[in-house]
Amino acid sequence: MMRSEDGIAAVLIARKAIVGEVTFDRDRKEIELSNNDPTGVFVTINTFPALRLRGCIGFPGPAYPLRDAVENAARAACHDPRFLDLDADELNDIVVEVTILSPPEPIKVTDRKDLLDMIKLGKHGLMLEYRGRRSVFLPQVPEEWGWDVKEYLENLCVKAGVGKNKWKEHDCNLMWFEGHVFKETSPNGDVAEVKE
């Protein structure tokens, strides 16, 4: 999936982009990546030490090279519409997390009830597309909320703004992917790889 060195570098790139976005100080020094292939990426900003969500934005598909995807997602996460814009005074009270995604693949299943056994919590992220509505959850989300697989699917539907049982319908497109997660252990601190 992703070399640890590049995952660690991605978090450093995200932190730098966040600092630049809220302080308007764009440091031109580049952090090296050995792999800059296009990939899906999400950048999550959490408060520290409470670890409450402060912003999360990303690209589920490989629309940009890794560096560009991380920088764009990090800057956008500072302005997540669910929250007030991130302020420079908060920079020492947040931790940054980067999830690097495998390409999403359609989930092929005849009986939708089989999804309850196929989807593995903590391993599979999910995307839903239904009549122009879309939603995405990263693999770590259901575990953070204590959901079982059925609740995971229901909440994915609710996030898309459709009925919670639409996942059972065959015209509801479901895709899955895996995520490789790297995060700061403290504000501006060491970066750890999160193992499944």
For residue 23, give the CATH number of its domain. Answer: 3.30.700.20
The CA distance from 193 to 6, in Å, is 11
Is there a single domain that holds both residue 92 and residue 186?
yes
Q: Contact 64/120 with Cβ under 8 angstroms? A: no
Q: Sign of dihedral through CA atoms 51, 55, 60, 64?
A: negative
The CA distance from 124 to 51, in Å, is 22
Is there a single domain that holds both residue 72 and residue 10?
yes
What integer pLDDT is reported at residue 154 of this predicted model? 97
Give the domain range for residue 150.
Answer: 105-177
Torsion, CA 21, CA 23, CA 28, CA 34, rounded to 10? -50
Task: Identify the bridge partners of residue 24 per DSSP, sorted by sequence position.
Answer: none
The one-digit pLDDT tens for each residue of the chain (196 residues) are 568 899 999 999 999 999 999 998 776 678 888 889 999 999 999 999 999 999 999 999 898 999 999 999 999 999 999 999 999 999 999 999 999 999 999 999 999 999 999 999 999 999 999 999 999 999 999 999 999 999 999 999 999 999 999 999 989 999 999 999 999 999 999 999 987 6
Is there a single domain that holds both residue 98 and residue 14?
yes
For residue 120, give the CATH number of its domain. Answer: 3.30.1490.150
Is there a single domain that holds both residue 40 and residue 132?
no
Is there a single domain that holds both residue 44 and residue 92?
yes
**How many domains would you assign to the chain?**
2
Reading the block at residue 42, the tokens are 């999400």
Is there a single domain that holds both residue 13 and residue 34?
yes
Is there a single domain that holds both residue 134 and residue 150?
yes
Phi, psi of 57 (to 5 degrees): -140, 150
